[in-house]
Amino acid sequence: EMSEMSERSKQNVAHGLAWSYYVGYLKIVLPRLKKSMEEFSRANPNVLVCRETWKLHILVPLSCDIYDDLEKADSNIQYLTDLTETTLTRAGTKKRVYKHSLYAIKDEVNKLWHCAVEYATPLQSLYAMSQDECAAFSREDRLEQAKLFYRTLEEILKGSKECAGTYRLIAYEESGEAETHFLSREILWHLQQQRHEEYTVYEGNQLNNPSTTLSSTELNLQISESDLPQPLRSDCF
């Protein structure tokens, strides 16, 4: 009976997506990321100058609005190259390819910061569900599940020894006003913070903490803590 209630209330959606994302993707690629970064750095010593940023920066927009092309999302984000591919045989697919793209992020003084960055792809599923009437998944449900996805993924990764020090989760909620360089500022703030973690004395201009960047504590406060299934609304698609 509890299983049926949980299924009807869509409580398992975010939890399942987070675990699937970790087991089927992050646990495979993250342990190999540092090696790819090291190889690239040896060939391009002036690009990845801050080792603390040698991570996969995973974007988690709570709106679940994802751009396939980051350069179209923000003109201050420029594709640079792809890191070394990882090729594995998985689930019957021979030579399945996993790779990450390296980007140059331009700040307010036109300085370039380099990092590997991509969206958390399961959020596309949450967005698609909110657009499909058969899923009976409202915008409010989508937001709640996006927050739960972030919290669950954060807890999973914190407990993963294989992935320690190889990722940076960037959860954010876009403001109502259209901002041309909103996304690049979000990424830059995290890059600056990581640089602070590596160097005691930071040289350069400090970016203000974007008000839309959300901490795990804030997300905890915004998500219902009730153990009981909550009724969903099927309007506002």
**Could you identify the residue written with the tokens 């997300």?**
219
- pLDDT tens for each residue of 56-112: 999 999 999 999 999 999 999 999 999 988 888 888 888 889 999 999 999 999 999
Q: Which has more confidence, 215 or 84?
A: 84
Amino acid identity at 198: E
pLDDT reading at 5 higher than 50: no
Q: Are 167 and 150 in contact (CB under 8 A)?
A: no
Q: Are 226 and 8 in contact (CB under 8 A)?
A: no
* Residue 179: band (very low, low, confident or very high) from pLDDT cuts 50, 70, 90: confident
- pLDDT tens for each residue of 9-32: 555 789 999 999 999 999 999 999
Structural domains present in the chain: 9-205 (3.40.50.12100)
- pLDDT tens for each residue of 38-47: 999 999 988 9
The pLDDT, as a whole number, for residue 196 is 80
Instruction: Give the residue ranges of DSSP H helices in 22-138.
Output: 27-43, 70-73, 122-131
What average pLDDT does this structure show over 218-225?
49
